[in-house]
Structures are given as C-alpha cells and as structure tokens.
Amino acid sequence: MKYSYISHLYCPKCAATYDHNQVNQLCECGSPLLVDYNLKELSQHLSKEDIINRTSDLWRYHELLPVQKKENVITLGEGMTPLLQMQRIGRDMDIPNLLMKDEGIIPTGSFKARGAAVGVSKAKELGVEDLAMPTNGNAGAAWGLYSTRAGIRSTIVMPEDAPKITRNEVAISGANLYIINGLISDAGKVVSEAVKERNLFDASTLKEPYRIEGKKTMGLEIAEQLNWKMPDVILYPTGGGVGIIGIYKALTELKELGWMDEDLPRLVAVQAEDCAPIVKAWQERKEESEFWKNSSTVAFGINVPKAIGDFLVLDALYKTDGCAIAIDDEAILHEQEKIASLEGAFVCPEGAATFVAARRLRKSGWIKEHEVVVALNTGMGIKYPDTVSVNVPTIEIGDKI
Amino acid sequence: MKYSYISHLYCPKCAATYDHNQVNQLCECGSPLLVDYNLKELSQHLSKEDIINRTSDLWRYHELLPVQKKENVITLGEGMTPLLQMQRIGRDMDIPNLLMKDEGIIPTGSFKARGAAVGVSKAKELGVEDLAMPTNGNAGAAWGLYSTRAGIRSTIVMPEDAPKITRNEVAISGANLYIINGLISDAGKVVSEAVKERNLFDASTLKEPYRIEGKKTMGLEIAEQLNWKMPDVILYPTGGGVGIIGIYKALTELKELGWMDEDLPRLVAVQAEDCAPIVKAWQERKEESEFWKNSSTVAFGINVPKAIGDFLVLDALYKTDGCAIAIDDEAILHEQEKIASLEGAFVCPEGAATFVAARRLRKSGWIKEHEVVVALNTGMGIKYPDTVSVNVPTIEIGDKI
C-alpha cells in the first residue's frame, strides 16, 4: 500500500508528460501541468469506508495527493472544514437545501492554506530550498507560514494595497517580504526576474503543479460530507480559479475510482462585476479569457484580470453545464451583512458573492427549488475587517442601556 | 440511549443543587454552578471507541454535554482543533514532546466559540430569548454570532479599547452593541442593571453554568487526540479561567467514566506580569485571589483582575500539583515572533505566553525533559494584528529584489 498513487504530470494543452520526481514548473508549451494518479490500482486497494477513521484534516486523502512519503507532510491541521446548513438565508432565497463550505475554519483563515500545505510539502519532498511568489495577500500569508514550517526560505512580493493583516502574517513568518508600489502583475514581474536570476522555485499560481492538488481536497470533502452523493450545484468565487479546477478534478477522480456514479454538479464561477473576464468568455462561449483592464472590487481575492488557468475553468463550466455570473460590490456587501445577521457567520466578501449568485440564479430559475446547493466561503470575514461599516453607540460610565 | 446524560446542577461552594430544566444563573450563595452527569449510567452505554466515527466537532461528545435534544444544537462547525507537534521550538526550549492545541482553527478564530456554542444551544433549549453580557472582545464576538444563529437577541457591552476586529464581528452579527468609555468592570455594571431591569439572561463569564461545558471539550479532545493518554503538563493562559476549570472537569469525568486511569496532568495557569491575581494567590497558597489594581497587558484576553471562578482555578492547580506563573509583555511578544518564524504558526499573545511559561518551567526543572507538554493557544494572531511590528522594504515598479 503506497502513501501516494501519483503516476506522472501531464499537460492539459499539448499532452506532453513529465516526471513527478523532478522539479517542474510550466509545460514547455506554457500551460500549467496537472497531476495524474494510478486510479485503477488505487481502486483495488482503497474503499471510501477506509477513510472514515482517519485524522480530520486533508491528509486523510493522502493516496490522492502527490506527497509520496508521510514524513514530508507539512501540516498546521488544515482541512475537513465544516459544511454548514444555511436554513434561514436559504429560506430567504427559496433554496431550502443551501449549504456553506466554510473555508474560514482553517490555518491562516483562508482556503489558501490547502494549496500551501500540499504545495510546500511536495516542494520539500523534491528538495526545494528557496521559493518565491507574488500575492494579493492570503496566498502569501499561507505560503510564507507553511514554508517556514517546512524550513524553506520564501520571498514574497505584495502590492501596497493588499489587506494589512496578510502583510502582518507574512512578516511574522520570517519570509523575505517586499511591498511593491504597484499591482499584483507588477509584483509578478519582479518575482519572475528574481526566479530566473537566482534559480528560485516559482510558487506563483499554477506555475507549479501541486497547489491545485491541495485545493482539490475541497471537492473530496464536500463529497464525503454529503455521504458520497454529488450536490446539484457548487458556487465558487473565481479569481485565479484554482479551486474550481481542483473541485472539478476531485469529483472526476472520484468517479474514475468508482466511489460515485452520479453526474457532476453544475459548477458556477462567481466573479465581480468590475473584474469578470471568465464571465465574458463564458458568455461568448470562448475557450480562453481576455485581460480585464482597470479591474476593481471589494472582494480582493478575486481581483484577477487574466488567470493563467482560465481555459481549465471554462472547460469545467462547459463540461458540467455550469455557468459564470458577475456580482456588483454593493450586492456583495449587502449580502455579507445579511449572512451574518441571519446565520451568525461572518464570511469574506468573496464568499458573500457566491450567495448573491445563488440568489440570482434561483430567481432566474437556473437553480431549482429543491436542488442541493453548496456555496463556497473562501475565508474569514475578519481578514478584511474594513469591509464592515461599524456605527455603534458609545456610552459613559453610569449610563443605562 | 440519551443524547445527554446531564443529571443536575450543583454548587461547588455550598453544595446546593438545582434543576437543569430551569433557567439558572449563580447559586444563591453567589458561587458559579457546575453541571453534573450520570457518568455511571453513561459508562454502561458508551465506550471511547464509539466516538471515533463521529463528526469532527465538539458535539461528538454530546453525552457529556448539557444539551438534551439534538435539534437544539447551534453549530458553526466548532471543535476538534488540531493538536500540533512543535518540534523546532520544542528543541529550542529542550522539550522534545511539545504540542500545541491550536484554538485559532475554530469559528470566530478563538476558543470562545466553544463556550458560546454550548452556552447558546442550552439557552435556546431552556427558552431564553434575550441575553446580555460584557466582553473584552472575543467572547462577545462568539456569543453575538452564535446568538444570532440561534435566533436569540443579544446585548453586548464592550470597552472602547477592546480589539477593533471583535467590534466588527459583534456589529455585523446584528447584536445590540454598546461601546463603553471605561473598563470591562464598568461594562459589567451596565449589563447587571439591564439584566435586572429587563429580565435578560445574564451570559457573563460563569454567571450561567454551560459555557464551562463548552470549554471542557478542549480537555476531551486533548485526551482523544493523545489516544486517551494523559499528557504530563497542560499550560493555559488564565484570565477568567473557564478553560482551565473546564479541562480539569473534563479529565476528571473521563477518569470517572473509566476511560483513563492515569494521574491528571499538572495544570499550569499562565498570567501576565501586570495582571497576576491567580499567581499571587497560588504563591500564598490561598483559596481565592484578590482584585489586581491597574492591571495591564498586551494579552488582552487575560486582563482579568478578579475572576469569579478563581477558587475553582486554584483548586485545580492544587489538586494536580500544578503551578501558576506570570510572564512579562516583552517576553510574550518576543515568543510570538519566535513561534511564527520557527513553526509557521501565528498565535495570539495569550497563546505565546504559555510557550514562555513552558520555557521557564523547563529551565527551572519543573518540567522534565521527556514530559509530554501541551501549550494551549486560545486564538489566531490576526485577531490583534497590531501586536506585530511590521517593517518591510517598499520597492517601485522596475526595481529588482
């Protein structure tokens, strides 16, 4: 019984294959690489019942993850986040079977911990000693802290207006942090040059093949938490899109394993109105998106004007009869408050966007009344506390309330 | 098979008993009330092996919790937080078996979620519709959000200098939030008056008997995560002390159940140098503490000058051959950085204090080299981001790093 059933890396664009025992970045053709597993062999050795007694973190699925030796696992206890019933807000939008996968309940308070845990563990296994990446905040916080735990040096470049709290997280991790007076794309250029000159490992989104395997575990968990039944719809806030690609990959692998035999859920890519390249491409039935100029949104994590994995996101939408939808900032902030005041959950703006999307898709009839709908909240609301406007009475000693 | 084996409430001071089917606050003698269970009966119906397959939250121990009907459980997925190996910092302080129970990986990012989940669920079961409490921040955030989830109205009074993020959490929950230009003790007086005049349920620390049952689950989880073996030492940052009382109660109940038969771990109450009433009382072998004047510390959550349950904390220390120790703010902040840069974990100052305590107690020989030591981190570092001093180079577009 092997710890991992990884077989090789392959390019989803040109079909080239690569050895997973070597350090790899992009395919020679420029596409991200994906991980393949010996699923037939695994299906003879593992059943879904074997999973039940395992630790309540994402490493419970280690056969479907790329790390080959248990001692290389770097963990802060990430995964098996709650799948919560959202009855009140579900009633409010006429979706009685509304669930939220709450990725705030995870180290560093955002789903980026999954990609970092698996990506850093595999980097360590491959002997990486030095990595670099640009970040809009949460990914840098996660990769900085997990790299430190692995004993890997990290260099992280972050735009000046990235959330303050994530800056503190990177700084305290001991990473080499640089703040750039520019955008994430400018940070990316600085990183690319440093990578070339100093032979660093490039941990940018999808420039290494393993982050997506960490994100994949969200799909595995949703399946297990629903007793290995597919939901009807999963809504995902889409910036780089690694999570939606990962969820699609996870559910496809579970079907290949023979653990599930229903149709895949319809996947929904939720974007912000002023940064909606995937939505535009989907509306035009294109295979790739175009760069979105002057993008802006309060949902910082989905401010990605052109995703390197856009073609994989769009493919997942087409293959599952899913859709893409753009939400305005005002509706996002309004929904964030509504979720807190109806359900007691303080979600991040990106997470709130998926609820607005569910509400609108139900209204248009795209979501049917009794469908099982999973909204993905990618992080804690407290990571960007300034999105909440607080207007509270101040009293003096001796006052009554 | 009952959902809960609760039998009654009792006073640990005067031994009076109360009916758990009524709403109760303090004992008539002024002491907090504790919950008792039919452990003999339970031991015939439940074994520790039965727990393994249950949901990975604190409700897996429902027989040992006070909520009698499953439908009254209010949950955001709290509990089963990671118990992490801390090898590097353990080596650094010559405690190779150092573990951290990380209570940051929980809804609202602090261990207060446990007390709120169980306290609010039981309040709902008893028909409470309106509750009130003073708070230094994290407890208010948790009780505000869980009350909302339960459909209970909450009134929360918070000092002006409580952490800003917790103010946002309470505000967005829809609670009636008041900021008082004063201290937590002033907030407490305002709440007491409102409770009397408007017949509200008083959810202040230990003024209702069920918060402690939620905190107790930290002890149950530590036991289960160590395969039902006691650690040698547990260090706990002690303000109101509900957690240390809860852990002591949990481990005592597990012994009574016959699930564990070793000696209890030595419990350590860790306080701040400028707010150390329990330490002073312990040094003087007293049964109660005195009010600590002009208390102050960066570890906001343990700034409690006189805890209503002080006698229970001290009793737990004496009964387990534990101790109490005070740590200065400078050492706390230094250790917080050290933990992050060695282990990749961004703990709160209260959590960092327990690591300083472990370090000092190892140096003095009170902790022996090969003992299994659990440090309790009560929340995420990002809840008070300003404790981290960030001094980062800013670069311009086109600069190299």
Contacts of A150 in chain B (CB under 8 A): 344
Of B109, B149, B180, the CB nearest to A343: B149
Residues B79, B106: Cα–Cα separation, whole Å: 7
| Residue B333 in domain | yes
How close does chain A come to B182, measured CA to CA in Å? 6
Q: Is B171 on the interface with A (CB under 8 A)?
A: yes
Residues A70 and A229 sit within 8 Å (Cβ to Cβ): no
Cβ neighbour number for residue A40 with a 10 Å cutoff: 11
pLDDT of res. B374: 98
CA distance B156 to B254: 35
Chain B CB contacts of A152 under 8 Å are: none
pLDDT of residue B1: 85
Helix (H) or strand (E) holding B150: helix B138-150
Q: How many CB pairs under 8 A join A and B?
A: 223
Answer yes or no: are the C-beta atoms of B341 and B223 closer than 8 Å.
no
Of B53, B109, B340, the CB nearest to A53: B53
Nearest Cβ partner for B77 among A102, A147, A165: A102
Backbone angles phi, psi at A323, to 5 degrees: -155, 175
ipTM > 0.85? yes
The torsion region of residue B258 among left (phi > 0), alpha (psi -120 to 50) and beta comes to: left
Asked if A399 reaches chain B (Cβ–Cβ under 8 Å), the answer is yes
Give CA separation, B217 vs B8, B59, B164, in Å: 19, 9, 28
Q: With beta carbons under 8 A apart, name residues in chain B contacting A56.
A: 56, 80
**Chain A residues touching B341 at Cβ < 8 A:** 148, 172-174
CA-to-CA separations, A24 to A11, A56, A114, A130, in angstroms, rounded: 12, 30, 20, 14
Q: Is residue B179 within 8 angstroms of chain A, CB to CB?
A: yes
CB contact under 8 A, A388 and B168: yes
Taking a C-beta distance cutoff of 8 angstroms, is the pair A12, A287 a contact? no
Interface of A with B in 246-275 (CB under 8 A): none
Residue B343 to residue A186, Cβ atoms within 8 A: no
Other Cβ atoms less than 10 A from the Cβ of A14: the count is 11
Average pLDDT estimate for B242-259: 98
Q: What is the pLDDT of residues B334-387, one digit of tens each?
A: 999 999 999 999 999 999 999 999 999 999 999 999 999 999 999 999 998 888
B53/A contact by beta carbon, under 8 A: yes
**Measured at the alpha carbon of residue B96, what is the angle toward residues B95 and B99, in degrees to the nearest 5?**
85
**Taking 80 as the threshold, does the pLDDT of residue B390 lie above it?**
no
Separation of alpha carbons B172 and A389, rounded Å: 8
Q: Is the dihedral of CA A60, A63, A66, A69 positive or negative?
A: positive
Please report whether residue A72 resides in a domain.
no
The edge-to-edge listing of strands for the beta sheet with B130-134 is A394-396, B176-181, B153-159, B130-134, B201-202
pLDDT at A393: 87
- Report pLDDT for B391: 82
Query: What pLDDT score does B227 carry?
Result: 96
Residue closest to B388 by CA, chosen among A117, A136, A146, A177: A177
Per-window interface: B 86-115 vs A, CB < 8 A: 102, 104-109
B395 contacts in chain A (CB < 8 Å): 157, 178-181, 190
User: Residue A129: left (phi > 0), alpha (psi -120 to 50), or beta?
Assistant: alpha
Quick check: is A379 in a domain? yes
Domain membership of residue A243 as a residue range: 83-110+211-386
Q: Inter-axis angle of helices B310-319 and B242-257, to 10 degrees?
A: 50
DSSP β-bridge partners for residue A272: A275, A327
Q: Are the Cβ atoms of B344 and A165 closer than 8 angstroms?
A: no
8 Å CB contact of B77 and A57: no
Beta-carbon separation of B108 and A346 below 8 A = yes
B chain contacts of residue A77, beta-carbon cutoff 8 Å: 81-84, 102, 105
Q: Tell me: the pLDDT tens digits for A224-264?
A: 999 999 999 999 999 999 999 999 999 999 999 999 999 99
Output the six-digit token pair for B293: 């004047």
State residue A391's pLDDT score: 82
Q: Which of B107, B382, B401 sits opposite A190 (nearest CB)?
A: B401
Which chain A positions have a beta carbon within 8 Å of B107's beta carbon?
82, 102, 104-105, 345
Q: What pLDDT was estimated at residue B27? A: 97
Judged by a CB distance cut-off of 8 A, whether residue A80 touches chain B is yes
CATH number of A369's domain: 3.40.50.1100
Instruction: Say whether B194 and A81 touch across the interface (CB within 8 A).
Output: no
Given an 8 Å threshold on Cβ–Cβ distance, is A145 in contact with B340? yes
Tell me how far apart the alpha carbons of residues A18 and A12 are, in angstroms, rounded to a whole number: 12
Is B322 an interface residue toward A (CB < 8 Å)? no
Whether A76 and B380 lie within 8 Å, measured CB to CB: no
- pLDDT, position A385: 83
Contact yes or no for A180 and B395 at CB 8 A = yes
Does the beta carbon of A297 lie under 8 angstroms from any beta carbon of chain B? no
Residue-wise DSSP of B210-251 = SHHHHHHHHHHHHHHHTTS---SEEEEE-SS-HHHHHHHHHH
User: Could you tell me if residue A47 is inside a domain?
Assistant: no
Nearest CA in chain B to A107: B105
* Residues in chain B within 8 Å Cβ distance of A346: 108, 145, 169, 172-173
Does a structural domain hold residue A27?
no
Specify whether the CB–CB gap between A324 and A282 falls below 8 A.
yes
Backbone angles phi, psi at B91, to 5 degrees: -60, -40
Pairing type for strands B34-37 and B6-10 reads antiparallel
pLDDT in tens, chain A (401 residues): 899 999 999 999 999 999 999 999 999 999 999 999 999 999 999 999 999 889 999 999 999 999 999 999 999 999 999 999 999 999 999 999 999 999 999 999 999 999 999 999 999 999 999 999 999 999 999 999 999 999 999 999 999 988 899 999 999 999 999 999 988 889 999 999 999 999 999 999 999 999 999 999 999 999 999 999 999 999 999 999 999 999 999 999 999 999 999 999 999 999 999 999 999 999 999 999 999 999 999 998 999 999 999 999 999 999 999 999 999 999 999 999 999 999 999 999 999 999 999 999 999 999 999 999 999 999 999 998 888 877 888 999 888 88
pTM: 0.96
Q: Please indicate if any CB of chain A lies within 8 Å of the CB of B226.
A: no
Give CA separation, A40 vs A7, A37, A325, B324, in Å: 11, 9, 37, 57
pLDDT score of B20:
97
Q: Is B131 within the bounds of a domain?
A: no
Q: Is B102 a member of any domain? A: yes
Interface test with A, best of B89, B155, B172, B341 (most A CBs within 10 A): B172
Contact A382 B165 (CB under 8 A): yes
Residue A181, chain B, CB below 8 Å: the answer is yes
A76 touches chain B (CB under 8 A): yes
Residue-wise pLDDT for B273-310, tens only, equals: 999 999 999 999 999 999 999 999 999 899 999 999 99
Q: Indicate if the pLDDT at residue B184 is higher than 90.
A: no
Judged by a CB distance cut-off of 8 A, whether residue B341 touches chain A is yes
pLDDT-derived band of residue B167, with 50, 70 and 90 as boundaries? very high
Q: How many domains does chain A have?
A: 1
> Does A176 lie at the interface with B, CB-CB under 8 angstroms?
yes
What does the pLDDT read at residue A80? 97
Contact A77 B105 (CB under 8 A): yes
Q: Tell me whether residue A188 is in a domain.
A: no
